[in-house]
Structure 1
Amino acid sequence: MDERKRDSIVAYLQRRMAEFDITPEAIAASIAEDQRRLNAVKYRDAAGNSWDGHGAAPQWVVKATSAGQSLEHFVVEVSRQQDAPKRSNVDWNQDPFAGSRLATSKVVHADVR
């Protein structure tokens, strides 16, 4: 991404944050809370339901264990939490800024053979 486009996106985000009275500290706190919640998950089922193992077991755990499934089946591996898949394939055709003045720079593709 060239520097002008980056600066345009940053300016746009700063204007939107000011419009909704969002501070960088609020964003950082929200990200930290999300990370804390994700790291606290100890059990997860195929439907995406999760449980940190504290307090009363949620209904999905109760149903599964009543049906004979072991709780160990739902254990989330720590290495899988830390090695979250990276976004490597970006479809720039789905650019949310397409058609706006933030997408004014032209992309030049080199013919590589």
Structure 2
Amino acid sequence: MDERKRDSIVAYLRRRMAELGIAPEDVAASIAADQEKIRAARYRDAFGNTWDGKGNIPQWVVQATSAGQSLEHFAISEPTEAQRKTRPMVDWGDDPFAGSRLATVKTEHVGAA
């Protein structure tokens, strides 16, 4: 995404946030809550469903284990040192939406002009 397009999207989002009365702190708190929920998860399936291993067993776990899959297959493990090193280093210092879904990098489509 080029810089002009990115700046345009950021300006649009800031304008809409102001119209709806959403403060940047509200967005940051929501993101922090989402990240905490993700960190608390112990199991995840291919569709992104998560479970912390406490309380009632969710339907996706029941279905998978009934089909013969082990619960440990869905266990979330900490990334290894090699996996951490392969991630590109990005400076998010100037990005107001750093760490949010709005800041994810999308690959360009083949054949796009």
TM-score bucket of the superposed structures, by smaller chain: 0.5 to 0.7
Partner deviation per Cα, 1:3-50 (whole Å, 9 max, x = no partner)? xx84x6554433221111111110110110111112122111223322
| Number of residues of Structure 1 aligned to a counterpart in Structure 2 | 89
Cα 1:20–1:67 shift into 2, 3 Å? same
Separation (CA, whole Å) in 2 of partners of 1:28 and 1:59: 31
Look up the equivalent residue of 2:73 and give its one-letter code.
Answer: H
Q: Which runs of 4+ in 1 moved over 4 A?
A: 8-11, 82-86
Could you tell me which runs of 5 or more consecutive residues in structure 1 were left unpaired when the two chains were aligned.
Answer: 95-113
Match of 2:62? 62
Partner deviation per Cα, 1:58-95 (whole Å, 9 max, x = no partner)? 12212222333211111112218x9689736356x69x
Q: Superposed, which structure 2 residues align to 1:77-92 within 5 Å? A: 77-79=77-79, 87=105, 89-90=107-108
Look up the equivalent residue of 2:23 and give its one-letter code.
Answer: T
Look up the equivalent residue of 1:66 and give its one-letter code.
Answer: S
Separation (CA, whole Å) in 2 of partners of 1:42 and 1:20: 35
Look up the equivalent residue of 1:70 and give its one-letter code.
Answer: S
SS at match of 1:32: helix
SS at match of 2:79: helix
Cα 1:61–1:90 shift into 2, 3 Å? same
**Identity within the alignment, %:** 56
SS at match of 2:37: helix
Could you tell me which runs of 5 or more consecutive residues in structure 2 were left unpaired when the two chains were aligned.
Answer: 89-103
Match of 2:35? 35
Q: TM-score, normalised to structure 2's length?
A: 0.59
| Structure possessing the higher radius of gyration over alpha carbons | 1
- Say what the alpha-carbon RMSD is for the aligned residues: 3.3
